[in-house]
Structure 1
């Protein structure tokens, strides 16, 4: 009897959680193979990307090698980019020329930047979806500091979570002053959050010297100028685009059912509608839950449970995904954040402490306890075979 291959495409929060949980449930069963495919050799902790962009952290400090995470685990890791998916033959083709046949497939490819068709975004703005993006922002600011001097004009397109994080973090570089403007099309920052949170964040950003423009949709982005629909022009040396995301462009809309944000339509068990052997997690699963790391991890747990149940039982007890409001923490500056956990809202240093404990919890779930504690307590990345990060100065 051939081994049944469970393939996970993408090693982000949801894909990695699905792989690790499946290994716990089926790793000792020789009838099943768990295969994780990712284009990178490392897992990216996206929650700290804004600190890399500011120069506070080295790019490597948000990267955890899969070799470390998967050591001792019965998970086959393939470092490749998926180039084609054929659900009819259940085959995946990769950039390395391999053709992989799956028994069950988990799509965990995350999201891509959405430019909404706004002219010049792709050519003249930088997103913040990868460590390469973050390093590109940092290096661009370095060049501006040498060639232009202060102040460096930075426009952040989008006043959501990422926009607030990067704007607040960049204000900390007093040795190379930045004139930062956040431009948001909605009437307030963080439009999906309670108004109280929006007001507190706007107040904090103003205190930090950030100019906030709401109800200000962008019409065009040029290399040194951002034009609003109103006709107002804002000078810029660097435009960071955080205004929107969409499901991965890898998906063929002629084959798969997609919603307006290009995420996959799924049933209550996170199966892609019309495809009984394909599941989706995280940003790719259209469930009505905000796209967060917590959402992705919960999806990964549900999918791992359901695939294991299908493997073990002729009458599997499948688990539905839950519609929930994930806890949210939004930092704005080095020592301030605002958190919402259920109906409780807290801001200031307490929320920063909570953010740090969230990092600890996550590290413990993917690394051995002693290494996770060491990395968290010391603030060092030597656990990842990387030199201790030191703040980089603009």
Structure 2
């Protein structure tokens, strides 16, 4: 109990994969019995697993069937939801400031307000980093939110329809053409390129355009480094490059982008890559608000935390996921910004916060790298399993990799709804797929 005679108040800011898993488990364990007040703060009213956004952008996933309402999850799992964006922290008063919420017409729905906490957990993720490239923020689309992914999908369909009616670009062969440039060949960029190739085939099959899906819809992946998937092993990168070439996706490496215009991408080597649509997937950075909170931050703007995931400056403030710089002694660096890290840290904090409320010492977090997987949609998947999972490292591809990639999302759903809920969700989406086109067409 706090000094004010009320239950200990835990506020988690950020309803991403890790944040929502954490408040769901804390609500079920502590909130249900009144042992603690658990509050989730997020600027959006709904949650979607961020690794799915490239599928939303390609139209192969309808976001409305995969989004989860925070208010409903709060009701089911005994926590409170407060909508709004974090704008500041008063560590002396132990309050956070949350911005006002407005509707689509700009009318204020919720006022700006302060929320008190006993324990604060920051899990606000990351945002796209444009690296100051001229025209990038104005002319390229990032994939940080559902709205951005949906905007790209609509623009893609419009570009294909315009092209077939002679209102778009004409290629050197005199045929109508659509060019898509994806800047950045990390997991998001590579996965999006494969999904887009599938989308081009489906749009043609449904008659939305008469373009040749491979010859007339051209996809370019531009990477500044010497190879794609720089965070993964060279073998995974090599095999993925081969698969992309089989899909007629142009892969350009060692090409640093110097400018993005309305209809092209320019590189340091002098290349001009035509682009009706440009996606920026070249890097991430911490949200700017983190550097205004008075807490130590890393060079990338992440909150620097101890092995207990507590901020170096304040033991009552924790941070995890992409917004935190957590030590990884085995690699003499920081824990990488991956979904598996956020999931492991959410599980760790669930136990650590319970120990803290019981007056016990906090344990130290240890990251276990279980490998990485890259999905190429309906075509294939590649990746590697490693660490404690198999006791070494193993390259996988094809059906096995696709099944394991799909299981990552199912594990997230199970963390939110339990095993029965996950099973029902899986069956529901399978049944829906039997009466819906493979790509969202409107």
Cα pair 2:88 2:293 within 8 Å, conserved: no
Please tell me whether residue 331 in structure 1 is matched to residue 375 in structure 2.
yes
Match of 1:319 in 2: 363
Taking the aligned partners of 2:304 and 2:419, their CA distance within structure 1 comes to 37
In angstroms, what is the RMSD of aligned CA positions?
2.0
- Structure 1 residue 209: deviation in Å? 0.5
Please tell me whether residue 363 in structure 1 is matched to residue 367 in structure 2.
no
Match of 1:9 in 2: 13
Taking the aligned partners of 2:147 and 2:431, their CA distance within structure 1 comes to 18
> Which of residues 188, 191, 214 in structure 2 aligns to 1:162?
188
Taking the aligned partners of 1:98 and 1:207, their CA distance within structure 2 comes to 54
Cα pair 1:157 1:163 within 8 Å, conserved: yes
Secondary structure of 1:322's counterpart equals coil
Unmatched 5+ residue regions in structure 2?
101-110, 165-175, 205-210, 327-333, 387-392
Match of 2:389 in 1: none
Moved more, 53-62 or 106-115: 53-62
Match of 1:302 in 2: 348
- Structure 1 residue 12: deviation in Å? 0.6
Secondary structure of 2:230's counterpart equals coil
Secondary structure of 1:329's counterpart equals strand
- Structure 1 residue 254: deviation in Å? 6.8
Deviations 1:71-105 (A, max 9, x none): 33220111222222222322112223221011010
Q: Write the mapping of 1:185-200 to structure 2, written as runs, cut at 5 A.
A: 185-200=224-239
Match of 1:66 in 2: 70
Q: Write the mapping of 1:257-276 to structure 2, written as runs, cut at 5 A.
A: 257-276=296-315
> Which of residues 210, 224, 229 in structure 1 aligns to 2:263?
224
Runs of 4+ deviating beyond 4 Å: 387-390
Match of 1:20 in 2: 24
Unmatched 5+ residue regions in structure 1?
none
Which of the pair has more CA radius of gyration?
A: 2
Match of 1:348 in 2: 398
Taking the aligned partners of 1:71 and 1:272, their CA distance within structure 2 comes to 30
Taking the aligned partners of 2:349 and 2:221, their CA distance within structure 1 comes to 38
Taking the aligned partners of 2:119 and 2:385, their CA distance within structure 1 comes to 35
- Distance of aligned partners of 1:381 and 1:241 in 2 relative to their CA distance in 1, 3 Å threshold: farther
Tell me the matched-pair count. Answer: 388
Taking the aligned partners of 1:223 and 1:270, their CA distance within structure 2 comes to 43
Secondary structure of 1:148's counterpart equals helix
Taking the aligned partners of 1:312 and 1:28, their CA distance within structure 2 comes to 17
Match of 2:127 in 1: 112
Q: Write the mapping of 1:106-185 to structure 2, written as runs, cut at 5 A.
A: 106-149=121-164, 150-172=176-198, 173-174=200-201, 175=204, 176=211, 177=213, 178-185=217-224
Please tell me whether residue 46 in structure 1 is matched to residue 50 in structure 2.
yes
Taking the aligned partners of 2:183 and 2:368, their CA distance within structure 1 comes to 28
Q: TM-score, normalised by structure 1?
A: 0.93
Taking the aligned partners of 1:389 and 1:10, their CA distance within structure 2 comes to 33
Deviations 1:4-30 (A, max 9, x none): 211000111111122123224422453
